[in-house]
Structure 1
Amino acid sequence: MNRTITIGTRGSDLALWQANYVKDKLAEINVKAELKIIKTQGDSILNLRLDKLEGKGFFTKELEEHLLEGSVDLAVHSHKDLPTKNPEGLIIAAVSTREDPSELILILKDCVDSSKKLSVKHNGTVGTSSNRRQSQLFAVRPDLEFQNLRGNVPTRIQKLRDEDYDAIIIAKAGVSRLNIDLSEFYVEEIEPTAELVPSPAQGVLAIQIRENDQELFDVLQHIHNSEVAAQIAVERKVLNLFDGGCHMPLGCYCEKEDDLFHVWTTKSKDAEEFPDRLYISSQTTEGLAELIVSKFDVEKRKMPKKVFISRELSEHSYFRKSLDKHTIEVEARSLIRTVPTIHKLDSYIFRNVDWIFFSSKNGIEYFFALEPILPKDLKFGVVGRGSEEALKQLGKVVSFVGESIDTTEIAEEFAVIANGQSILFPSAKDSLRTIQKAMSAETTILDLTVYETILEEGVSQSFADVLVFTSPSNVDAYFANNLLDPGQKVVAIGKSTGKKFDEMNVNYILPSSPDEIGLAEVVFGIDI
């Protein structure tokens, strides 16, 4: 291409980074480009929440107008800011690779409470203008107060520095791209499948051109990421089918792994409503967005009337609240009981120990009931966010969290960072020792049996529409006396529990994560 391409961009640091990123990509294929800075409505109006601005595309409209007029050849957008439909005459010609779509909570260090979920102090003030973020965070931390936060990334961080808030939430992608030093804050990262599902196409750049510029379109295919395009097409179609804009409390994230598309979606009516969450996997994207949207039409679906779960639930339980929202009856009862196996710890056991690894909340409870005096430099590893939360409530910082439903995968991940060190495993009598078996021969393994699981006898049958089992022991206890009724659906919290049903030749559903949010996601998607 002989012509020099004019790139239209907003003037913020992040927008300029994005435009220069595309300019550099074009330079790699010997295409010259220059930047033209354009001010948008979103840059001019900083005193209103995003959902109060008129219409859609308030960060993109002016760029698109310049494209249509021909004063620029190409516009670079944060894809999540774009309306789902292009103005007539414009197309998205290419998308970038995806920056990590996680969210960051930045907390003033004197406002940190590590015993709380997400580490913000009780009744803390959190800055965000996103209904999506507020809805999801309010579901897990109803004590928090949310206040409007606008401005570019450095401006938002400065407002936190000025102590206008106790904490703020920002996308990790912007911080990474600008290489911002956050060492003065306590930073907690929330992965896109955890408490905060990101905006559709978060972390992706969209390159927009005139539809009739075939020459530029062909050139841009050399920097286009087709795999990312297929994934965000699902997210963007969900947004389009909901007819949602930036103000809708909607999160959607799609990733491809092992030839399957995995999609997490969250939606609520407004920032204060408890959100519905859904997890679906599929071999194809065809019809996937339509299926997702249909699951949120709860008026037309036949949802379960009653759900059994094999553990006790508090009234503040996320899983319970997700079912209460739809007046689904919850039958929560554990089918096992646990008893301690030791009552005293010798302090020598911690000599030269680098890690303590917990496979369950029971292990944490019984270990700390022994009142251990621990070295300060010990690191903690856990299976699941539930165990992470239990440790946080004890004021412990967790260095490794295995979030897969497959303990073998968690073992492989942990082995990468802990092989060759000394690891203490407080666990149950006759535990499977999956983590221990994955460690190298150079690793020092210290097994410490702190409790024993006893199955309840004569467990009564549940006639709930859905049966959720939270451990292999609970499966053994229930099916010692009972059979499945026709039509009952079964959920297994993880693959170890699922293996029990494999042995029984019973179909079951697995969540994406072995915790209450993961269970809520799969149960919400079940039709009876």
Structure 2
Amino acid sequence: MNKTIIIGSRGSDLALWQANHVKAQLEAIGVSSEIKIIKNQGDNFFNFSFSKLEGKGFFTKELEEELLQGQIDMAVHSHKDLPTESPEGLTIAAVSEREDPKELLIILKDCVDLSLQFSVRYNGIVGTSSNRRKAQFKSLRPDVEFEELRGNVPSRIQKLRDGNFHAIILAKAGVERLKLDLSEFHVEEIDPVEMVPAPAQGVLALQTRSNDTALIEALQKLNSKEVAEAIAIERKVLNLFDGGCHMPLGVFCKKEDGKFEVWTSKAEDEDDFPERLFVRSGSAEGLAEKIFEHFKKEKSGTKSIFISRELNEDSYFRRSLEKFDLDIEDRSLIKTFPIINTFDSYILKKVDWIFFNSKNGVENFFRLEPVIPKRVKIGVMGRGSENELRHFNRVADFVGESGDIREVAEDLLPLVIDQTVLFPQAKDSLRTIQVQLGEKINSIDLPVYETIKEEEIGQSSADILVFTSPSNVEAYLSNDNVIYLNQKVVAIGTSTGNKLEEFGYTNYVIPYSPDEIGLSEAVYGLL
């Protein structure tokens, strides 16, 4: 292209970073450009919640009008701000690579409580204007209160610094792009599997006139086809719900081993407990419609559920089921007993990592009051083990999010290769993670507890059976119990699933993550 492209942008620091980022990319492909700053009505609504503005064109309207009038040639948007349909005459010519879609929880250091999930103090005040974030955060921390947070990214952080909140939630992508220093705060990343982001979060949209074929062709060199494919599913779900970003709807899609993995979280309003669904599909065709239909269908037929662990009243899993008036039968089929009262703490001076594959391992190891050197890192299998670790004021350095032990081992290996890892575990542990890591680490097994089958293990007639460990499967099925043909089965992970198969049962579901959120998603998928 011979002409200089005029890029339209809002005037905030983040918007200008985005525009300059695209400008540099254009220069790299031989296209010259300049930036024109356009005042936007969304910048003026300081007294309104973002939840009433986002996704409705408040942050894009003026840019689109300038495009249609020919005053600019291209607009750079945060894709999540755009309505799901472009105005007539305009098109999204290209999308960027996706920045990390995680959320950041930024906490004042004197308001940190590591024993609580997300580490913000009990009854803390969290700043956010996103109904999606409010609904999901409150489902995991019902004690927190929310207050509206407006302004650009630096001004939001300044409001936290000024003490208006105990913590705030921001998209990691914006903070990363601006290279902001957050060292004065306690910062925790919230994975998109745990808090589902807004559709297209972390992606830039390059919008042009539909008839500007030369520019559209040039922009294909900047277009990420894989990202476009994934966010097309996310935004199609948003479009089907006809919600805009004011709806407490999170959708996140990624492609793994040739399959689309999609997480969806939807609530009616910010105070509603969100319904969550995870689906995996080899094809994008009809996938958004399938997700939409599942949320719209009447949930009938399932009346009861059994889970092989006791649930307290605040349990995420229990509260997620209460929306559907299910009878819950929660009872562990095993008892755990500590088997050592002390151990040689010199071991801890020789290890680089400690890895826990269960909540019981965490509890029984820390019961020994170990003195762990600061250099030693801690890994856990699943959010349940991570939350148990928090009870001892420790935050995990690695969390295995997948229910597939092989995937966890693949993620863990680069961190622990050629290092010494201590595994506090059950007396007769299957050692599945050690087997997967093999000789690439130096492993030390430390049996700290044993499991014994309960004396009274009755048959359950619940519509859905949820097994939370191989030991519970063995206890249930070795007691002359059977799984009826009409019962649906959930196994918390691959080891539990393998134990079911040893007894001849192959028709079961494994949640994506081995925790209560994952179990909730799996059960919702079966309703």
Classify the TM-score, shorter chain. over 0.9
Residues 323-362 of structure 1: pairs in structure 2 closer than 5 A: 323-362=321-360
Residue 392 of structure 1 is matched in structure 2 by 390
Say whether residues 1:212 and 2:188 are aligned partners: no
Give, in whole Å, the separation in 1 of the partners of 2:312 and 2:54: 42
- 1:408, distance to aligned residue in structure 2 (A): 2.5
Aligned AA for 2:149?
A: L
Contact 2:55 2:82 in 1 (8 A): no
Residue 290 of structure 1 is matched in structure 2 by 289
- 1:17, distance to aligned residue in structure 2 (A): 1.0
Residue 371 of structure 2 is matched in structure 1 by 373
Q: Deviations over 1:306-334 (max 9, x none)?
A: 11111111110000000001111111111
Residue 516 of structure 2 is matched in structure 1 by 516
Aligned AA for 2:267?
A: S
Q: Displaced runs of 4+ in structure 1, greater than 6 A? A: none
Give, in whole Å, the separation in 2 of the partners of 1:164 and 1:337: 47
Residue 223 of structure 1 is matched in structure 2 by 222
Change (3 A) 1:325 1:345: same
Residues 63-462 of structure 1: pairs in structure 2 closer than 5 A: 63-194=63-194, 196-298=195-297, 300-302=298-300, 304-439=302-437, 441=439, 443-457=441-455, 459-462=457-460
Give, in whole Å, the separation in 1 of the partners of 2:206 and 2:301: 41
Q: What SS does the corresponding residue of 1:255 show, helix, strand or coil? A: strand
Aligned AA for 2:241?
A: F
Contact 1:201 1:235 in 2 (8 A): yes
Contact 1:135 1:272 in 2 (8 A): yes
Structure-1-length-normalised TM-score: 0.96
- 1:486, distance to aligned residue in structure 2 (A): 2.2
Residue 36 of structure 2 is matched in structure 1 by 36
Change (3 A) 1:202 1:460: same
Q: What SS does the corresponding residue of 1:176 show, helix, strand or coil? A: helix
Q: What SS does the corresponding residue of 1:216 show, helix, strand or coil? A: helix
Residue 486 of structure 1 is matched in structure 2 by 485
Contact 2:54 2:81 in 1 (8 A): no
Q: What SS does the corresponding residue of 2:118 show, helix, strand or coil? A: helix
Give, in whole Å, the separation in 2 of the partners of 1:284 and 1:54: 30
- 1:213, distance to aligned residue in structure 2 (A): 1.3
- 1:378, distance to aligned residue in structure 2 (A): 2.9
Contact 2:103 2:190 in 1 (8 A): yes
Q: Deviations over 1:176-210 (max 9, x none)?
A: 1111111111100011111x100000000111111
Give, in whole Å, the separation in 1 of the partners of 2:483 and 2:223: 50
Contact 1:56 1:245 in 2 (8 A): yes
Change (3 A) 1:22 1:53: closer
Change (3 A) 1:54 1:182: closer
Give, in whole Å, the separation in 2 of the partners of 1:36 and 1:149: 28
- 1:423, distance to aligned residue in structure 2 (A): 2.3
Q: Identity across aligned pairs (percent)?
A: 61
Change (3 A) 1:92 1:54: closer
- 1:21, distance to aligned residue in structure 2 (A): 1.5
- 1:472, distance to aligned residue in structure 2 (A): 1.0
- 1:505, distance to aligned residue in structure 2 (A): 4.2
Give, in whole Å, the separation in 1 of the partners of 2:180 and 2:235: 29
Aligned AA for 2:30?
A: N
Q: Deviations over 1:117-173 (max 9, x none)?
A: 001011111100000000000101111110000111111111111111111000000
- Between stretches 112-121 and 359-368, larger displacement belongs to 359-368
Residue 468 of structure 2 is matched in structure 1 by 470
Give, in whole Å, the separation in 2 of the partners of 1:374 and 1:228: 42
Q: Deviations over 1:430-472 (max 9, x none)?
A: 2122333345757443211111111235521111111111111
Aligned AA for 1:489?
A: K
- 1:54, distance to aligned residue in structure 2 (A): 9.6
Q: What SS does the corresponding residue of 1:525 show, helix, strand or coil? A: helix
Give unmatched runs, 5+ long, in structure 2. Answer: none
Q: What SS does the corresponding residue of 1:232 show, helix, strand or coil? A: helix
Q: What SS does the corresponding residue of 2:230 show, helix, strand or coil? A: helix
Contact 2:8 2:74 in 1 (8 A): yes
Aligned AA for 1:12?
A: S
Aligned AA for 1:310?
A: S
Change (3 A) 1:367 1:55: closer
Contact 1:402 1:410 in 2 (8 A): yes
Give, in whole Å, the separation in 2 of the partners of 1:136 and 1:292: 19
Aligned AA for 1:520?
A: S
Q: Deviations over 1:473-524 (max 9, x none)?
A: 1111111212221221111110111112333142111111000000001111
- 1:399, distance to aligned residue in structure 2 (A): 1.3
Give, in whole Å, the separation in 1 of the partners of 2:90 and 2:486: 50
- Between stretches 301-310 and 80-89, larger displacement belongs to 301-310
- Between stretches 500-509 and 326-335, larger displacement belongs to 500-509
